[in-house]
């Protein structure tokens, strides 16, 4: 087993999955624009802390999850409710309140770290996705489900997520004076993204029910 290859494939899989606009990466960029680079990075670190546990769970139970679609069905139902509520909030509530400049207390970095952990924790999609990737890699004889193989895969997934989030933070820093980077635009963007995810999730749930 080539641990470097396992790490690289885990990195590539999660980096690719994180790059499309989503709730976590857009929120990381929003925090960086509003409160500075350091707090955006702290948010990303908090999100990646959860990714460690998500990828660990996904790897350990990869075969189980792939052989029990009913488990993924439950996760989809929970995710549907969460993303629908988030979409309603960002489209109809958050956009109506203007955020004024406020003094940031010394605990803000810690709060952003836990904020990142929270949003990452309610995002259940990485678990079945990473489980699928782990099973696929294992099917080619590249990954073995021992401590070293699991560790390399988890590290790769975590680094891939952080690198993608950091790219988002730096990109929006470059365009911070553009209209798209305003808070109202960011709230709309997050709301639209969560709404699309909720619709896709609902379609998948209905499709599974129809096929059953």
Matching residue, tokens 């305003």: 182
Confidence of residue 166 (pLDDT cuts 50, 70, 90): very high
Confidence of residue 69 (pLDDT cuts 50, 70, 90): low
- Alpha helix (H) residue ranges in 36-174: 37-60, 62-67, 69-92, 108-121, 126-139, 147-174
CB contact set of 111 (below 8 Å; sequence gap of 6+): none
Q: Give the C-alpha separation, 61 to 152, whole Å.
A: 16
Confidence check: pLDDT of 157 > 50 = yes
Residue 104's pLDDT is what?
43
User: What is the pTM (predicted TM-score) of this model?
Assistant: 0.67
Helix, strand or coil for residue 105? coil
């Amino acid at each position: 087993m080539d641990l470097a290859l396992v790490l690289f494939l885990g990195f590539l899989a999660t980096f690719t999955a994180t790059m499309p606009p989503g709730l976590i990466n857009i929120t990381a960029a929003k925090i960086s624009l509003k409160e500075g680079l350091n707090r955006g990075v702290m948010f990303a670190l908090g999100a990646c802390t959860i990714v460690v546990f998500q990828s660990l769970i996904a790897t350990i139970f990869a075969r189980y999850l792939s052989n029990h679609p009913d488990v993924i069905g439950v996760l989809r139902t929970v995710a549907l409710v969460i993303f629908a509520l988030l979409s309603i909030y960002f489209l109809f509530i958050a956009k109506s309140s203007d955020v004024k400049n406020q003094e940031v207390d010394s605990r803000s970095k810690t709060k952003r770290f836990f904020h990142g952990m929270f949003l990452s924790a309610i995002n259940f999609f990485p678990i079945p996705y990473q489980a699928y990737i782990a099973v696929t890699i294992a099917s080619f004889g590249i990954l073995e489900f021992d401590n070293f193989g699991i560790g390399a895969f988890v590290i790769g997934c975590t680094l891939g997520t952080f690198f993608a989030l950091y790219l988002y933070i730096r990109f929006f820093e470059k365009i911070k004076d553009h209209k798209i980077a305003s808070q109202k635009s960011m709230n709309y963007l997050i709301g639209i993204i969560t709404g699309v995810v909720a619709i896709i999730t609902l379609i998948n749930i209905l499709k599974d029910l129809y096929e059953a």
